[in-house]
Amino acid sequence: MSGTPARTADTATTAEVVCLGESMVTFLPSQPGRLADVPSFGRGIGGAESNVACALAAAGHRAAWVSRVGADGFGDHLVEAVAGYGVDTCAVQRDPVRPTGIYFRTATDRATDVHEVAYYRAGSAASAMSPDNVPYEALFAGRVLHLSGITAALSAGCLALLHDLTAPRPGRPLISFDVNHRPGLWRDADAAPEVLLDLARRSDLVFVGEDEAEEAWGVKGAEAIRAALPEPGVLVVKRGSDGATVFSGAGEADDVTAVPALRVDVVAPVGAGDAFAAGFLSATLRELPVRDRVRHGHLMAAAVLTVPGDLTAPPARAHADALAALDDEAWGTLRLGPGWTGHDQEVRTT
């Protein structure tokens, strides 16, 4: 179907998915409270695109991450941590002058008013990415190139890079684009909606949340979002607890597939969007039906939602396939809690 990446001899032994974007060292609070009051932090990693790469690699796919990090200890940690998930990091460049980005966050849900994030990424190594210094041969080596609107916000060079990568060209891999509208990252917040709309319209597979589409473009509802984005062969509209709707095809020829979300006992509401994208991409690479692609996205998101951090081991493929194959009634009765991906599975029906 539309949106399935083609297999070629050149990519058969390299990465299936290449992910481009900044990853940062994340400092996670030891207890709830304001950043001013938290006494200590634990170290982790965070980055939308590297999260997708790590989840795909953990799910058994060949994934690569392309970025720039500083020639510092935090850069060492990032590369080692991402590689530890089985991701190819050979094309990550080290910047001898600019530092690796870091950020601190509170333990509260990022959707609440009390959530705080303190970024220290201005002038970071990744923000210096541009068409002049990123290895295109690595970016175009896979069946899929996964990008995000976050990168476009980092600098003029990063925006130029994404604009060039989404340009039509012979042999271009399938371009997967997660809108990821983060108003706080943009120096010119007024320009962000038009930039993100343009990049999404130049892509083949687009992920966007109903809430961010309304915030960025003033459009509400899946059908209105599709009207604003008629070009992508596959458009995935994430509707939060209501599930996701996928438009595949073009214009009046669209196939529309709506899949309900799972009920999940949430431990921490972070990283779910990246995990959903990884699950959907995994099932796309396997050429599964659209319904199952969305269900694998929901299952991968549920794995992350039931742990404290942004990353976790996904369910075994056979386990995920069995759940994705349930009939609609059985799918609707699933409830997933902590531990459901392992041997002490907590998969309940109600």
Which residues are part of the catalytic machinery?
Answer: 274
DSSP letter at 88? B
All residues at 6 or more sequence positions from 73 whose CB lies less than 8 Å from its CB, including other chains: none
- CB contact at 8 A, 2 and 248: yes
Size of the chain in residues: 350
- CB contact at 8 A, 94 and 71: yes
Look up tokens 């659209």; give the residue. 290
All residues at 6 or more sequence positions from 188 whose CB lies less than 8 Å from its CB, including other chains: none
Strand pairing report for 234-238 and 205-209: parallel
- CB contact at 8 A, 303 and 76: no
Paired residues of 238 in beta bridges: 209, 244
CA distance 63 to 140: 13
- CB contact at 8 A, 27 and 119: no
Q: Which of 217, 154, 160, 148 is nearest to 187 (CA)?
A: 154
**68: part of which helix (H) or strand (E)?**
strand 68-70
CA distance 82 to 46: 10
Identity of the amino acid at 279: G
